Amino acid sequence: MNHSFRRILPLTLATAAAALAVTAGPAAAAKPIVHSTPKVPIVVDGKKLAPKQIHRYDGQPLYTRMSADKKRLIATTSLPKFKAFLKKKGLRMPAPNSKPKLKARSSYSGHFARIFVDNFLLGHNYTVGSGLGVARMAAISGANWFTSWQFENAVSSVETYGTGALLYDLADFNPAWGTAYIGPNQQVDLAWFGWNDRLSSVFSYWN
């Protein structure tokens, strides 16, 4: 083989691969973050906004919680600030890709977070015991003789008893696209807070 050709061939292949990567880039890129519009006003990093103004933050994650009166969505763009909020409650976020472990304590064994595929705590549901989590919704989806159901991007309401829960937009407890904290003893219709049909993983706190 001609030595000049040997030198040129790798360069030609690399150039072609780079061009292909650029061409495929937009199609292969991750879906951008587009927030769902909540039905209540929001406060982001201290700024009061109308529900539709949440789209000012499209493209970046939001770490959210309900106000005490359930009339506002409180959010921050800072993951460290959100972790500080949890820390004040004695809580920590599970590490991404981790497997939460149930500690050997019996006094809170009846506490849970329960997720439902329909609004108003209806439809197929799954109970996540205190101190446990579901890293991927596909693991709890299923079927029977009459119907099939899935929880991935299909959860519409949440109930907590005795403990809080942390909802994730991504699987494996990955906070890169945002989270929502639901406090203990709550019954929440997620559409009100822009979290309908978004859940990909959930963690139930040992509280």
Q: Is residue 160 part of a domain?
A: yes
The percent helix, strand, coil of the chain (3-state, each to 5) is: 30, 30, 45
Q: Is residue 190 part of a domain?
A: yes
Q: Is residue 159 part of a domain?
A: yes
Q: Is residue 47 part of a domain?
A: yes
134-191 pLDDT tens trace: 999 999 998 877 878 899 999 999 999 999 999 999 999 999 999 999 999 999 999 9
Q: Select from 92, 94, 85, 62 the least CA-distant residue to 171.
A: 94
Q: Is residue 11 part of a domain?
A: no
Give me the number of domains the chain comprises.
1
Q: Is residue 19 part of a domain?
A: no
Domain coverage including residue 136: 27-92+108-204
Sign of the torsion angle spanned by Cα atoms 134, 136, 137, 142: negative
Q: Is residue 196 part of a domain?
A: yes
Q: Is residue 39 part of a domain?
A: yes
**The pLDDT of residue 99:** 65
Residue numbers in the chain where pLDDT is lower than 70: 1-31, 99-109, 207
CATH code at 121?
2.60.20.10
